[in-house]
Amino acid sequence: MMIGGMAATDIAERFGTPVYVTDEQALRDNFRRIHQAFNRHMETRVHYACKANSNMAILKVLEQEGACIDAVSLGEVLTCLKVGYSPDRILYTGVNVSNEEFEGLVEAKVPINIDSFSGLRRLAAISTDVPISFRVTPGVGSGHHQKVITGAKGSKFGIPIEEIMDAFREAVDLGFKPRGLHAHIGSGGQSVDPFTDLVGILLGVVNDLKDELGLELEFLDMGGGIGIPYRPNEPVMDVDELAANLTEMIMEESDIKTLAVEPGRYVVCDSTVLLTRCVDIKRTEEKNFIGVDAGFNTLIRPSFYDSYHHVAIANKFNKACEARYDVVGPICESGDYLARDRVLPEPEEGDLVAVYDAGAYGFVMSSQYNSRPRCREVLVNDGEAELIRDSEDLEDIWRHQVMPQRLM
């Protein structure tokens, strides 16, 4: 197995396992593909949803490509500013935002996407001299799992569409100058239809705002994660068709000049592989197990979302697949698995197992559960590998714990 022109076995030998390995050129290609698909039709700001992968080297690569940022916390905002993004290239879209976070955002001078009437009023008490837009709950949901569908009725996110006109009206009365409208339908969708449904709904609101309040918005923000194929032979989202359909609707049915899209998974997911070492092999009457040194503390998606990740034995690409195995980790939980019922070559202790499409919601959702330090991240480009995050050790786990003096 080769990653960015370098053998996976060499990477694992040099940096140890488990380790997340990102191919820089694949990352750049993914961003360019979606940026070009939309901008050939109309001006489109591609806001990378950095919650998918907030490693600073990843963020810097995308900053060089001209990306904007979709941030969901003050921490993400400050990280992106530190990397080199200017405040106007960051759009903050939070939920249940505290006053302290609002104060930090105002100080950082980033545009804020308002999620509730409460948030609008509390922000107004801090400052109205800040660019704002509104997040609406459109009643359209899409995603790979119920836990990531965000746009359906009853969602905790956004202002219900029945109340969005009142939100804009109150914002104007408070002294704001709203600039845009945003909605997010969910993460990992593979069909074009939910996105066209969403834009149709948003355009109705845009035109009502112009007719009833005289507001002409500057941008429309089509949130919602564009999916990628995790399974072999799964169809790929046609971003060219998506871009053509959405931009045609916007240009024909509104005066909106700028579109914003918020890909996270699409940009980073398939650029990254998790490499993990086989440390144990167990065969029972019911199942065969390949025990590896990465568990759901390293990659939680299979356990949390029942997500599928393709796996292969990286040093046995030329070997025939002979039996079915579950790939399981070292965490003391029965739900600790990376893959189930996969046909693989005969494993041996020391084999290198590759878990594909691990760049999105991989390291960022990892933990220190079972007192296991988090792993390294590596960036590979043109046959050269560089460390972009060092592994933790036990001192990192202990560092912020405080022992009361009376227990000493």
Q: Which positions are annotated as active-site residues?
A: 332
In 3D, which of 382, 314, 278 has the Cα closest to residue 18?
A: 278
Helices (H), 277-370: 301-305
Distance in angstroms (rounded) separating the CA atoms of residues 250 and 259: 8
3-state secondary structure of 379: strand
User: In Å, what is the CA distance from 94 to each residue of 70, 81, 113, 258, 319?
Assistant: 10, 17, 7, 22, 48
In 3D, which of 88, 173, 85, 111 has the Cα closest to residue 102?
A: 111
Token readout for 10 is 């060499």
- What contacts 186, CB < 8 A, 6 or more positions away? 141, 142, 143, 148, 149, 150, 151, 152, 194, 224, 225
- In contact, 168 and 209? CB cutoff 8 Å: yes
Name the percent of the chain in helix, strand, coil, to the closest 5: 35, 25, 40
- Residue type for position 196: T
- What contacts 253, CB < 8 A, 6 or more positions away? 203, 207
In 3D, which of 43, 40, 90, 66 has the Cα closest to residue 258?
A: 43
Q: Which helix (H) or strand (E) holds 276?
A: strand 272-283
